[in-house]
């Protein structure tokens, strides 16, 4: 019975991972699919304020931080606390979560390599948000360097 349960759970997880085969981690649906491409204009003020309220609510931050902690615990179990053998998707997802919680309404795409190089592209609403990208990404264990291809979007007229 235990073997059957393990087989069923493993099958569901494998199916779920295959179904989510997107290579990029995005902070919003309108973020570019490619880290070298960015939208040309910024969202309106109301959208930014609504996203900030949601992204910076205590409940959302708790959810994102719990997700990052769970990933770190899994990494510690499998790698004796080291950052070795971290999957590219895991790094990208953790960085995306960190950016989503701290950069409201950013339209960012995150990609990572096996070497721990994280590339972040897309747009943010101001220079302060742009300056926060690299330090936030470097807080994630396994990130060795950050390439920021993001830019401040032009305001809608």
Residues of the chain with pLDDT under 50: none
Q: What is the CATH number of the domain that holds 95?
A: 3.30.1340.30
Handedness of CA 143, 148, 149, 152 (dihedral sign): positive
Domain assignment present for residue 136? The answer is: yes
The predicted pLDDT at position 121 comes to 93
The predicted pLDDT at position 150 comes to 92
Domains identified in the chain, total number: 1
- Measured in degrees and rounded to the nearest 5, phi and psi for residue 119 equal -115, 125
The predicted pLDDT at position 156 comes to 61
Domain assignment present for residue 120? The answer is: yes
140, 68 in Cβ contact below 8 A?
A: yes
The predicted pLDDT at position 10 comes to 76
Domain assignment present for residue 5? The answer is: no
Q: What is the pLDDT of residues 65-94, one digit of tens each?
A: 788 788 778 777 776 666 666 778 888 988
Domain assignment present for residue 92? The answer is: yes
Domain membership of residue 28 as a residue range: 24-152
pTM, 2 dp = 0.61
- Paired tokens of 110: 């995150």
């Amino acid at each position: 019975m235990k073997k059957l349960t393990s087989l069923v759970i493993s099958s569901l997880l494998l199916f779920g991972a295959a179904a989510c085969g997107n290579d990029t981690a995005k902070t919003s649906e309108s973020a570019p699919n490619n880290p070298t491409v960015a939208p040309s204009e910024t969202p309106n003020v109301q959208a930014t304020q609504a996203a900030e309220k949601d992204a910076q609510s205590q409940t959302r931050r708790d959810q994102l931080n719990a997700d990052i902690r769970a990933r770190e615990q899994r990494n510690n179990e499998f790698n004796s606390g080291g950052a070795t053998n971290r999957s590219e998707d895991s790094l990208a997802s953790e960085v995306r979560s960190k950016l989503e919680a701290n950069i409201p309404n950013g339209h960012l795409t995150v990609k990572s390599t096996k070497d721990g190089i994280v590339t972040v592209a897309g747009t943010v609403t101001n220079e302060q948000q742009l300056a926060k990208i690299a330090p936030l990404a470097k807080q994630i264990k396994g990130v060795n360097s950050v390439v920021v291809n993001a830019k401040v979007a032009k305001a809608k007229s």
